Structure 1
Amino acid sequence: MKLDQRDIAILRVLAREGRISKSDLAQRVNLSPTPTWERLRRLEEAGVIRGYHADIDMKMLVPGVEVFVTVELERHKAADFAAFEKLAEGREEIAACWALGGGFDYLMLVAVRDIDAYQRFMDGLLEAGIGLARYYTYVVTKQVKSHVARLPDPDPA
């Protein structure tokens, strides 16, 4: 899908302010409401906009710990990757998971109540029979920056 400067402007605003009204969005991107709504609908239907989400500070709700975990699988067959990814999708503790190229197979963000819950979770993964060879744990000590989508500049051509 080819995006122009207006599409990118819409996406930049939405990445920071997902709850902005459509009329305010139109004003922010310097476009009348109807064309803005049409572009927004097109971006949603094309799957460029996958959804709208609240950025919830979980520490305000429950005490907890976030842990980044790098994962290596024993085997590198498509079925092994599929089994791991299916398990990852079904576990609430895994807040996010990325497949990587390079030294590790996956990077997971695990969110649990405490470090003991994290170790029980990882012990369960080791016993799940999904071919987990090894993992490395990196405990988050503080958040420096929250994720906001970075959008490229549109192609000038």
Structure 2
Amino acid sequence: MSAGPSPVVLRRLWCECSIAEAKDPAIAREWLLGTYAASSPRLAIRWFATWAPRLADLIEPPRDAPWVPKPNGALRPARETGLDAASALRAWPHDVGEHDQALTALRDGTPYRFTVSGSGLRYCLSARPIVVHSHGRPGDLMLPPPAAVDSPRPPSQGEASRGRGAGPRAP
């Protein structure tokens, strides 16, 4: 009698995009915007390169966005504060040095985290190594629940939302 397919162990990188309050980490809240189980460090970097400008547009909408009223709309440039999280996120996809640092960390099996702060919030792209178990059937992956690296607490089911490019939902 056959016991069924044997389990398969795969190594993946669990990627997350999140926003957290920049207050005391013990009481701060965090919102998970998207997750992805990357099969290689390069795919994790590609996912970051997609999410970094998307997150920047949430912080500071581009002036040519179709929904921005023209020409004298309600949106006006804010006064310069010295902390420009949106610009840092928009620059991430083109920062070869940062990509090399992320690739090295992820290839070595250590977590990588890119965090910028502004307006009382922390914006974070992170990846950490995980082990994925499968029972040999397509779509039968068992992933860990999403939790940001160094997160004070994992987000509850109601807080987690899945965006484009999100990986399989954890059981």
TM range (shorter): under 0.3
More strand by share: 2
TM-score relative to the length of structure 2: 0.20
Per the normalisation by structure 1, the TM-score is: 0.22
Higher relative contact order, chain-length normalized (CA < 8 Å, sep 6+): 2
Structure with the largest fraction of helix? 1
